[in-house]
Amino acid sequence: MKTWLCICFLVIYLIVPGMSFCQQQEGTPETRFKQGVVTQLDSIGSLLVIFDGSENLRFSVEQSARIYRGTDNIMLDDLESNDTVTVEYYKSSDGVLRAVSITDNNIAASF
Protein backbone atom coordinates (compact mmCIF):
# COMPACT_ATOMS: atom_id res chain seq x y z
CA MET A 1 0.00 0.00 0.00
CA LYS A 2 2.81 2.46 0.88
CA THR A 3 4.57 1.59 -2.36
CA TRP A 4 1.41 2.32 -4.32
CA LEU A 5 1.03 5.70 -2.58
CA CYS A 6 4.65 6.57 -3.35
CA ILE A 7 4.16 5.73 -7.01
CA CYS A 8 0.98 7.83 -7.17
CA PHE A 9 2.77 10.72 -5.49
CA LEU A 10 5.64 10.56 -7.99
CA VAL A 11 3.30 10.45 -10.98
CA ILE A 12 1.07 13.28 -9.79
CA TYR A 13 3.70 15.67 -8.47
CA LEU A 14 6.76 14.97 -10.60
CA ILE A 15 5.93 13.39 -13.94
CA VAL A 16 2.61 15.03 -14.90
CA PRO A 17 3.75 18.67 -14.36
CA GLY A 18 6.99 17.94 -16.24
CA MET A 19 5.05 16.77 -19.29
CA SER A 20 3.71 20.28 -19.87
CA PHE A 21 7.25 21.54 -20.51
CA CYS A 22 7.56 19.13 -23.44
CA GLN A 23 4.53 20.52 -25.23
CA GLN A 24 4.40 23.66 -27.30
CA GLN A 25 2.16 26.35 -25.87
CA GLU A 26 -1.32 26.14 -27.29
CA GLY A 27 -2.01 28.75 -29.94
CA THR A 28 1.69 29.30 -30.69
CA PRO A 29 2.45 28.12 -34.24
CA GLU A 30 5.54 26.01 -34.83
CA THR A 31 7.98 27.97 -36.99
CA ARG A 32 10.40 26.55 -39.52
CA PHE A 33 13.22 27.98 -41.60
CA LYS A 34 13.77 27.91 -45.35
CA GLN A 35 16.64 29.40 -47.33
CA GLY A 36 16.36 30.35 -50.98
CA VAL A 37 16.65 32.97 -53.69
CA VAL A 38 14.03 35.69 -54.10
CA THR A 39 12.16 35.14 -57.37
CA GLN A 40 9.16 37.41 -56.79
CA LEU A 41 8.43 40.25 -54.42
CA ASP A 42 5.32 42.35 -53.90
CA SER A 43 5.81 44.72 -50.98
CA ILE A 44 2.32 46.21 -51.38
CA GLY A 45 0.63 42.81 -51.28
CA SER A 46 3.13 41.50 -48.69
CA LEU A 47 4.12 38.57 -50.90
CA LEU A 48 7.53 36.90 -51.13
CA VAL A 49 8.37 33.96 -53.39
CA ILE A 50 11.68 32.13 -53.04
CA PHE A 51 13.25 29.21 -54.91
CA ASP A 52 14.87 26.79 -52.45
CA GLY A 53 16.67 24.71 -55.08
CA SER A 54 13.78 22.38 -55.75
CA GLU A 55 10.56 24.40 -55.66
CA ASN A 56 9.11 27.90 -55.45
CA LEU A 57 7.65 28.72 -52.04
CA ARG A 58 5.11 31.53 -51.67
CA PHE A 59 5.01 33.40 -48.36
CA SER A 60 2.53 35.92 -47.06
CA VAL A 61 4.66 38.36 -45.06
CA GLU A 62 3.12 39.21 -41.70
CA GLN A 63 2.78 42.93 -40.99
CA SER A 64 4.80 42.41 -37.81
CA ALA A 65 7.55 40.45 -39.63
CA ARG A 66 11.13 41.38 -38.80
CA ILE A 67 13.30 41.88 -41.87
CA TYR A 68 17.09 42.15 -41.57
CA ARG A 69 20.18 42.64 -43.69
CA GLY A 70 23.05 41.79 -41.41
CA THR A 71 22.14 43.53 -38.16
CA ASP A 72 20.19 46.33 -39.87
CA ASN A 73 16.39 46.39 -39.92
CA ILE A 74 15.15 46.88 -43.48
CA MET A 75 11.80 47.05 -45.25
CA LEU A 76 10.33 44.36 -47.48
CA ASP A 77 10.80 46.55 -50.55
CA ASP A 78 14.56 46.75 -49.78
CA LEU A 79 14.85 43.11 -50.88
CA GLU A 80 15.58 42.44 -54.54
CA SER A 81 15.26 39.55 -56.97
CA ASN A 82 18.14 37.07 -56.69
CA ASP A 83 18.84 38.00 -53.04
CA THR A 84 19.53 34.93 -50.95
CA VAL A 85 17.27 35.00 -47.90
CA THR A 86 16.39 32.88 -44.90
CA VAL A 87 12.70 32.92 -44.02
CA GLU A 88 11.27 31.95 -40.65
CA TYR A 89 7.65 30.95 -41.22
CA TYR A 90 4.71 28.89 -40.08
CA LYS A 91 1.92 27.20 -41.96
CA SER A 92 -1.45 28.65 -40.94
CA SER A 93 -4.59 26.56 -40.57
CA ASP A 94 -5.71 27.63 -44.04
CA GLY A 95 -2.47 26.28 -45.56
CA VAL A 96 -0.81 29.65 -46.21
CA LEU A 97 2.93 29.96 -45.42
CA ARG A 98 3.27 33.08 -43.25
CA ALA A 99 6.69 34.71 -42.89
CA VAL A 100 7.46 36.13 -39.45
CA SER A 101 11.14 36.90 -40.06
CA ILE A 102 13.28 37.36 -43.17
CA THR A 103 17.06 37.69 -43.20
CA ASP A 104 18.78 38.95 -46.35
CA ASN A 105 21.98 36.93 -46.49
CA ASN A 106 23.62 39.41 -48.92
CA ILE A 107 25.45 41.32 -46.19
CA ALA A 108 27.76 42.93 -48.74
CA ALA A 109 24.74 44.79 -50.13
CA SER A 110 24.45 46.75 -46.89
CA PHE A 111 27.87 48.44 -47.29
Question: Which pLDDT score is estimated for 8?
Answer: 46
Query: For 54-67, how does the pLDDT look when each residue is reduced to its tens digit (9 = 90+)?
Result: 999 999 999 999 99
Any idea what the Cα angle at residue 87 is, between residues 85 and 93, rounded to 5°? 155
pLDDT in tens, 9-52: 444 444 444 544 444 455 668 999 999 999 999 989 999 999 99
- Give residue-wise pLDDT tens across range 80-94: 999 999 999 999 999
Q: What's the CATH superfamily of 32-110?
A: Nucleic acid-binding proteins (2.40.50.140)
For the stretch 6-19, pLDDT in tens is: 454 444 444 444 54
- Contact 102/48 with Cβ under 8 angstroms? yes
- Residues sharing a CB contact under 8 Å with residue 55, sequence separation 6 or more, in sequence order: none
